[in-house]
Structure 1
Amino acid sequence: MPLSKQNFEALCYACRTGDAENADRLISTGVNINQVDKFDNSPLFLASLCGHENVVRLLLERGAICDRDRHEGARCIYGALTDSIRDILLSYDISKAFDTNQPFATHISSLLNDDELQTSDMQVNCGDGIGHSVHKFMLSARSPTLASMISQPESDKDSILQIECPSDTLSIFLKFLYLMPILHEMKPADFASLIKLADSFNLNLLREFLDKARHMTDPVEKSSLMISYQYKFTELARKQLKDFVHDHIINGYLETGSESVVPITSTSIATDIKSFPDMYLKVNDPQGSTRVYPCHMAMLSRADFFKHMLFNDMKEGEEYLNRENKTQSEPRDNIPLCISLPSCSHEVGEIIINYLYFDSTDIPSSLAIDVLRVADYILADRLKNLCAAVITQSAHLLDTNSIFDILQLAWDTGVERLEQFSAKYIAENIRSFDSYSRLETAIKDSSKRISERQQTDTIELVADIRFYILQKYDLDPDDLSLLESEADDLEFLRSIGLLDYKTDMSIIESLLERLNLII
């Protein structure tokens, strides 16, 4: 059995038994702590299920993922033996709410009672006067009944919604709408009020869960039910936000001419009022037309660029916003902010919006490079990696793009997957290039990047190409000694690929010699 597999199995055993010291030792060997065993159990799930709080903390600190967008994340939370472990998992999840790699459900949860960004625009009160700050667009997307209530003609109280129910019930209800895992918080005494709310706001899936759970006493069955429904709730919310974006944002744009600055005032954009926007996103198509989409700071803040521009007091952010809105003549407080994406097609802009609102990964291969460039601009690292996955899996990528263009794109955007893809392609096709001028240029450019990486001992592109040439012939470094020890047995060297390896490597070595970069 490979050592890595042995270490992982030993780690799973340590997580089941609570052996934190041994778990720490095994993690230090580099074992992938986010893989699963033959029963689809991750180390984090095993530690949570068996009640080992110290091991749970250790795994989280070392990079274990409790991703609530996935079934495995729900299993960790609802399979936890104790409430304290469940609270650790949730608090760790929410504490990373504004990381660029955050999953969809975590971001939605972070918006409720948000003290950092404060993007709410409505207060929901219950019978005993306790209020909660919420977002009109979120409530509208999650329930047609709530959407109808919120969209009533404006009045002095249009930012306050009254829901008659106990304060504890309202808190659980709003947490449910914002995808917080609160099914374990529901007590038998809450069920009647929650069922009433579910019926009032046509939340059929919630009512379905409550009907099944209210008379269930077996803890194992109840945990399985919660795991199943939490995932269903997340996927339903994703679909609801997808429909909301399509109906009120993508189809709610204003199209203008080719002017570089679109005058924005509080009355000039005739968008569907049901979108409840608090900002606008401008997309300037290279062909000349401009679209302005009604959006929400709460969702665009998933990308660090928008978060920085909208919520930081740093000088460059203020200057950017002033420049984007410089034609406005109304008082500052009455003017909706407008921020531009870099020049791109409307299709690319809409892919960005879809990703930020409901985690859409539907990226056509024909647009993946353009989306990657915009994702790099808005500092959306996870979207960059998704684009890279599409690019590297495209069957026709190199019909219209040179591999050296892809390599330059990788360097420009800092996407390692594309660097590796480019190096592997060059290695596998090293003899097929009509000219080596572009490869020379790429090697020279890579050598200049050594100081940028604060390294002095290797040219990264050359090292990667050498590695993939070894891999191409299914060799390892130890095999290279045979080139000397078996130098007279050419048939043997040819049969194991060493002669072809030597031919490929001679091309690289001659280029390095010509560039005076022998290393």
Structure 2
Amino acid sequence: MNEYRTDFEKLCYACRVGDLENVDRLAAAGVNLNGVDNFDNSPLFLASLCGHEEVVKLLLERGAICDRDRYEGARCIYGALTDIIRDILLAYDISKAVDTSQPFATHISSLLSEEEFLTNGLKLVFKQDNEHIDIHQFLLKARCVELWKTFFSASNKFIPTFYVPTNNRLKIFTLIIKFIYLIPVIHEIKTTEYPELIDLSKELKLETLSNFLDKLRHVTDPSEKSSMIIEFQFRVTEEARLQLCNFVENNIFLNTIDPKNLKTANTPASYNSKIIDPSADILLLAKDSSDTERIYPCHISILSRAHYFQVLFSLPFSENHMFRKLKNNNDSDAFSNLPVISLPPCEFIVAEIVIRYLYYDDSDIPWEYSIDVLLIADFLLEDRLKSMSAIVITQDPQVLKNYSIFEILDVAWQTRMERLEHFVAKILAKDIRKYYKSEEFKDAIMKSSKRISEREETDTIELVDDIRYYLLEKYSLEPDDIQYYETVDDIRELQSAGILDYRKDLDLIDQVLHILHLNA
């Protein structure tokens, strides 16, 4: 059964059948893309062998290895179903495989060159080079605590600018910063720079980097070196995911704010000390079903991953009426001057699922909250999170035990999730004799018929068309089979082929259309 498969087995199956969204979800969850199943097949080999071009591209972008000098890489190339896939694998530059191993990593990397959302940042100043590097405080706190600590004085007072000692070179520090931002840097390192870079990474307690460089500088074989670099970048990305996970739990979720506590003039000093975190630059307000409010101290640069927030943050704060200030009488509070942005009403666990996803691509969505997460993701215009939520809805049997199929259909229409629409149609086709008399089924067809104008079509009802398609699948029929059996009079042949049952199911749909005075 599907629910007993391991995540890697689910990934292999998704690659075999071409389920792009599920491959994306599992890759985002950190499933090893370069493992092999019991038959020594890698996910990339399965996708190549079965001819799923888009899945092949996605796997390569996420870090799947296709080195033609290694057995598995050669097997992928020569086993590819189509010439197009073979050309993709042959032309693929192995060095690119480490650039976008995870979408969150791609976003983190982009932040180093984008200053638009750099607020409450830090500045590393190199006097001898007359240069400086602007970095995000929260990322430094999550990924390199030793360097982050340098921005505090002896009295533990935060200092936003740090003057780098003259014995440290800009080039070496830049490589370290790129590593912190998950930008592949190994290929930029010159042989003469290894000792200095290793020493600095040890000083900053970046053990993953220092240990790897110490091993790599003794390797001369190009193929072995390429493999080591790819495996290293995957390990670094997973390490960063864990670091950001810990950061979210310890610096955001443990520091949530009850707005009621901020409306009193005499806020306890212990409460103030709890919420002061100089890296936060935006407050995210959530309100649950009981009208209880909770504020999460977040970061504009991360929330901007969601398209809704990205557009919102691009507007000038002074002209942006979507922002507001906390109603706090204690002006000394560090958070009183931060802007506040609200999520639509949702349970706090849903807000936290969204936050975890935006910070480190966490895709763990409990079925109980999958529909709520889908609705919030739709509001935020975050398509990947929508897809992940839809996958949970379609794959966890508990969803159908707690929601009617027509509730799911309404959500599918509301969020424009075609995957969910097909999921509903398939279930309706499977049990058409159970559903066709229900008022909900008739209402669903009527609603679907009214959506025709939105699709600029006049001769079809999408839900009916989908159900008819899945009726063919239900009886293992092809459109050509239907045309052939129209000329067959042998009842036994029609019965054994499933044609008679197929026609009965079609008649049930036609009966409903007749009752509703619809022609489709």
TM-score relative to the length of structure 2: 0.77
Measure how far apart 1:255 and its partner are: 2.0
- Taking every aligned residue pair, what percent have the same amino acid on both sides? 38
Structure 1 contact 248–275 (Cα < 8 Å) conserved:
no
Q: How far, CA to CA, are the matches of 2:326 and 2:279 in structure 1? A: 23
Aligned: 1:191 with 2:183 = no
Q: How far, CA to CA, are the matches of 1:154 and 1:413 in structure 2? A: 48
Structure 2 contact 125–163 (Cα < 8 Å) conserved:
yes
Match of 2:374 among 372, 375, 384: 372
Tell me the residue number matched to 2:160.
158
Tell me the residue number matched to 1:496.
497
Higher alpha-carbon deviation: 449-458 or 198-207: 449-458
Q: How far, CA to CA, are the matches of 1:139 and 1:89 in structure 2? A: 25
Q: Deviations over 1:370-414 (max 9, x none)?
A: 111111111111101101111111112122211011000001011
Tell me the residue number matched to 2:110.
110
Higher alpha-carbon deviation: 222-231 or 274-283: 274-283
Tell me the residue number matched to 1:208.
211
Tell me the residue number matched to 2:342.
340
Aligned: 1:350 with 2:352 = yes
Q: How does 1:223-262 map to 2 (within 5 A)?
A: 223-257=226-260
* Partner secondary structure for residue 451 of structure 2: helix
Measure how far apart 1:149 and its partner are: 2.7
Structure 2 contact 98–233 (Cα < 8 Å) conserved:
no
Q: How far, CA to CA, are the matches of 2:261 and 2:498 in structure 1? A: 59
Aligned: 1:408 with 2:410 = yes
Q: Deviations over 1:459-507 (max 9, x none)?
A: 11111100000000000111113443223x2221111111110111111
Q: How far, CA to CA, are the matches of 1:414 and 1:135 in structure 2? A: 36
Q: How far, CA to CA, are the matches of 1:285 and 1:351 in structure 2? A: 14
Q: 1:210 to 1:374 in 2, by over 3 A?
A: same
Tell me the residue number matched to 1:382.
384
Q: How far, CA to CA, are the matches of 2:217 and 2:290 in structure 1? A: 58
Q: How far, CA to CA, are the matches of 1:506 and 1:359 in structure 2? A: 47
Measure how far apart 1:218 and its partner are: 1.4
- Whichever residue aligns with residue 501 of structure 1, its letter is Y
How much is the aligned-residue C-alpha RMSD, in angstroms? Answer: 3.8
Q: 1:43 to 1:366 in 2, by over 3 A?
A: closer
Q: 1:340 to 1:108 in 2, by over 3 A?
A: same
Q: How far, CA to CA, are the matches of 1:262 and 1:311 in structure 2? A: 33
Measure how far apart 1:63 and its partner are: 10
Q: How far, CA to CA, are the matches of 2:442 and 2:449 in structure 1? A: 11
Q: 1:201 to 1:269 in 2, by over 3 A?
A: same
Measure how far apart 1:75 and its partner are: 7.1
Match of 2:466 among 452, 464, 467: 464
Aligned: 1:125 with 2:125 = yes
- Whichever residue aligns with residue 318 of structure 1, its letter is N
Match of 1:71 among 63, 83, 86: 63
Q: How far, CA to CA, are the matches of 1:462 and 1:503 in structure 2? A: 15
Q: How far, CA to CA, are the matches of 1:118 and 1:71 in structure 2? A: 28
Tell me the residue number matched to 1:172.
175
* Partner secondary structure for residue 285 of structure 2: strand
Q: 1:326 to 1:238 in 2, by over 3 A?
A: closer
Q: How far, CA to CA, are the matches of 1:308 and 1:271 in structure 2? A: 31
Structure 1 contact 279–337 (Cα < 8 Å) conserved:
yes
Q: 1:269 to 1:514 in 2, by over 3 A?
A: farther
User: Gapped runs of 5+ residues in structure 1?
Assistant: 1-35, 46-58, 95-101
Q: 1:326 to 1:198 in 2, by over 3 A?
A: closer
Q: How far, CA to CA, are the matches of 2:435 and 2:42 in structure 1? A: 47
Structure 1 contact 280–294 (Cα < 8 Å) conserved:
yes
Query: For this pair of structures, how many residues does the alignment match?
Result: 450
- Whichever residue aligns with residue 306 of structure 2, its letter is A
Q: 1:503 to 1:41 in 2, by over 3 A?
A: closer
Structure 1 contact 120–133 (Cα < 8 Å) conserved:
no
Structure 2 contact 137–279 (Cα < 8 Å) conserved:
yes
* Partner secondary structure for residue 343 of structure 1: coil
Q: 1:269 to 1:258 in 2, by over 3 A?
A: closer
- Whichever residue aligns with residue 375 of structure 2, its letter is R
Tell me the residue number matched to 2:300.
297
* Partner secondary structure for residue 322 of structure 2: helix
Q: 1:67 to 1:363 in 2, by over 3 A?
A: farther
Structure 1 contact 348–367 (Cα < 8 Å) conserved:
yes
Measure how far apart 1:193 and its partner are: 1.4
Structure 1 contact 300–306 (Cα < 8 Å) conserved:
yes
Tell me the residue number matched to 2:483.
481
Higher alpha-carbon deviation: 290-299 or 305-314: 305-314
Q: How far, CA to CA, are the matches of 1:240 and 1:314 in structure 2? A: 30
* Partner secondary structure for residue 258 of structure 2: strand
Measure how far apart 1:170 and its partner are: 1.3
Measure how far apart 1:448 and its partner are: 1.5
Structure 1 contact 446–459 (Cα < 8 Å) conserved:
yes
Q: How far, CA to CA, are the matches of 1:211 and 1:512 in structure 2? A: 72
Q: 1:354 to 1:67 in 2, by over 3 A?
A: farther
Q: Deviations over 1:329-386 (max 9, x none)?
A: 879x972011111111111111111111011111111111111111111111110110
Q: Deviations over 1:251-271 (max 9, x none)?
A: 111124499x999x9x99654
- Whichever residue aligns with residue 392 of structure 2, its letter is V
Q: How does 1:45-60 map to 2 (within 5 A)?
A: none
Q: 1:248 to 1:74 in 2, by over 3 A?
A: farther
* Partner secondary structure for residue 286 of structure 1: coil
Measure how far apart 1:73 and its partner are: 7.2
* Partner secondary structure for residue 396 of structure 1: helix
Q: How far, CA to CA, are the matches of 1:88 and 1:125 in structure 2? A: 31
Q: How far, CA to CA, are the matches of 2:467 and 2:272 in structure 1? A: 53
Q: Deviations over 1:191-237 (max 9, x none)?
A: 11111111111111111110111122211111111011010000000
